[in-house]
Amino acid sequence: MSDEDIHLFRSLLPDALKESFLKLSPRVQFRNPVMFVAYLAAILMTVKTISVAFSGESFWYEFQISLWLWFTVLFANFASALAESRGKAQAATLRNQAEMVAKKLVDGKVKIVGAKELKSGDLILCEAGDFIPADGDVVKGIATVDESAITGESAPVIRESGGDSSAVTAGTKVLSEEITISVTSEPGSTFLDRMIALIEGASRQKTPNEIALSIVLSALTIIFLLVVISVKLYSDYYEKSVEKSLNPITLTALVALLVCLIPTTISALLNAIGIAGMDRLVRRNVIAKSGRAIEAAGDIDLLVLDKTGTITLGNRMATEFIPGDGITEKELAEISQLASLSDETPEGRSIVVLAKEKFDLRVPIPEEKITKFIPFSSYTRMSGIDILDEAGRVVRSIRKGTIDAIKKFIERQGGNFSPELLDKMERISREGGTPIAVADNGRVIGGIYLKDIIKGGIKERFAALRKMGIRTLMITGDNPLTAAFIAAEAGVDDYIAQATPEMKLSRIREEQALGHLVAMTGDGTNDAPALAQADVGVSMNTGTQPSREAGNMVDLSNNPTQLIDIVEIGKQLLMTRGALTTFSIANDVAKYFAIIPAIFGSLYATEAGKGPLTILNIMRLHSPKSSILSAVIFNALIIIVLIPLALKGVAYCSASASYLLRRNLMIYGVGGIILPFIGIKFIDLIITFFWQTI
């Protein structure tokens, strides 16, 4: 455990201990059927202890049993309380941000109101230095926004009206300029409010797997309850049939047998495992809207990823000007720079920068009255400029854009694409780059080499996913040649080139129809349908409001590669639950060999009061009472021992399901059988050392 974890544990300990006692309410205990049985057993033994004390007999043994039964319940409460306290500590700083004021625009005038009074559709003004009081979309203006309080990233981001960078989040701060925001959230339901509720675990619902496991554990508890009752009935019947007085099976022994047999260990930790899974996501700056989403992440077998920003670094940069016949590289750079002046995308800006750096070009902007700028559009996939004469007629038309877009553009003007230049563009695609064509007055004069770099280690991560049986599908708007090159270099299993929103949605539905669980990431409004359709949809916090509402997870740090981490966390959650369930069932074996001989050791006794079942006391425990007490103490202490594992999770490794199953059976199955034998024997030695008469 790191120093940071130790410091965090110490700070959370007082609240967790207090909450452990508050959770002793019957209403709280009833939610966990297995621990509710242990809770009733503790109450029953407390009444038994008081009864023995008033009878004048020694009650030390009964007191010890009842005390450790209460510890069992309290330790289970402590596990849940500690997991919840970690979330509450993370939400504390966010809650302070929820109390803000807003500059509401009413009939064009500013009115100061509380953030909680804002409703969907209200317009608010945020100036430099203001905190954004509600979720919304920028409808006017542009500003730099500090989102570090939400995302943890110190670098400010640009938020502007229109496009996919218009969404703003409550609790973030405007650093410069001013923006007008249309509120998209109702009071108390902002993204910040939902974050606080999710982090604290207040709205955490049990997942289908948790519910199924709880039903199984409850069924086992009922079976063991019937077994314990039948044990008492059989003992009484045997005593009457042989007409011989035997050592009676006491209520204390039966209660201890029941509590040690029922799966208290996993039941005590089940809630903590689920909360800790969400907490691990929060530590990675990802908010899951439900525990179901985390579990689904652990079960997915198809990962759908965008190329740009996920597999590659994104922001393709211009690296080379490729002139055609009859034009120099400098002339091409000058025309390309002019065509990119109205292109605000990172690619467009990189073309302007490359021309400046390579040829020290600073193209003067023509006078407005004789120019018409053509901004870049995702629909036209072009940008450029038209030079007009005094009559407003176009005398020169310059365009820069994708090969297909430029080809269609010049064909409409009666021009054509030279085969030699087209071969050069195809070479760029084969090398994994993106070719951009430049046209001047209906003639393609050259191209620009845009390059995107594969992220380091991404190929190894995809290989690790493949070992786990997870396929990867890359989706990109690039042409098929570029997509094929990137797919081969990154090591993805399949790819879709020149993808549209409809193609994404259709492919996800096809895969789900074949029985696959699909995860994907996105940030734009056009990604919303696919995010909603995917079993795990991770939307970027910087994305549009529709995309954030469509996904069942939100990545606050806006790092699409976290989708791979989310899958690993989901698998770790399932592994942890499976491992501790295996351990919980396996450690009951040692308790059988401790309590069964203690209860039935004198059954069918032939000599010295010992019967044939005495041979089951393979641990050579001191006496029946010390055996029962040792088992009860171990049953309580093992919960505390396993709390760090439940919160941290079982160590994750990329491997097949069969290998992980074998490993968990060896570590937590065999280990769960062996460890309790050692633990119970050690506790028995301590008990008999301090309490010789037991």
Q: At CA 140, angle to CA 137 and CA 145, rounded to 5?
A: 60
Residue that is written with structure tokens 């039948």 in the block: 230
Q: Percent helix, strand, coil in the chain (nearest 5)?
A: 55, 15, 30
Output the six-digit token pair for 385: 């400029």
Which listed residue (306, 440, 452, 684) is catalytic? Answer: 306
Output the six-digit token pair for 93: 């700083």
Task: Output the CA–CA distances (angstroms, integers) from residue 207 to 273, 396, 573, 652, in the order listed.
Answer: 12, 63, 12, 21
Contact 34, 72 (CB under 8 A): no
**361 burial level (CB within 10 Å; 0-12, 13-18, 19+):** middle
| Signed CA dihedral, 654, 658, 664, 667: sign only | negative
Neighbours of 318 (CB within 10 A): 25
Q: How far is CA 218 from the centre of its chain?
A: 28
Q: Which residues contact residue 326 at a Cβ distance below 8 angstroms, ignoring those fewer than 6 apart?
A: none
Q: At CA 595, angle to CA 594 and CA 599, rounded to 5?
A: 130
Phi, psi of 201 (to 5 degrees): 80, 10
Write down the H helix ranges in 168-207: 191-200
**Mapping DSSP to helix (H, G, I), strand (E, B) and coil, where does residue 133 land?**
coil
Output the six-digit token pair for 194: 């939902």
Q: Which residues contact residue 178 at a Cβ distance below 8 angstroms, ignoring those fewer than 6 apart?
A: 125, 126, 127, 128, 141, 143
Contact 483, 476 (CB under 8 A): yes
Dihedral, CA of residue 164, residue 166, residue 168 and residue 174, to nearest 10:
130
Is 306 annotated in the active site?
yes
Output the six-digit token pair for 647: 């919160």
Contact 516, 472 (CB under 8 A): no
> How many residues in total does the chain contain?
694
**557 burial level (CB within 10 Å; 0-12, 13-18, 19+):** middle
User: Of 99, 127, 94, 122, nearest to 184 (Cα)?
Assistant: 122
User: Of 188, 181, 263, 271, nearest to 219 (Cα)?
Assistant: 263
**Mapping DSSP to helix (H, G, I), strand (E, B) and coil, where does residue 147 land?**
coil
Q: Can you tell me the distance from the alpha carbon of 139 to that of 410, in angstroms, rounded to the nearest whole number?
A: 36
Rg (CA), the chain: 34
Q: Can you tell me the distance from the alpha carbon of 522 to that of 554, in angstroms, rounded to the nearest whole number?
A: 10
Q: Can you tell me the distance from the alpha carbon of 344 to that of 268, in angstroms, rounded to the nearest whole number?
A: 56
Q: Cite the active site residues.
A: 306
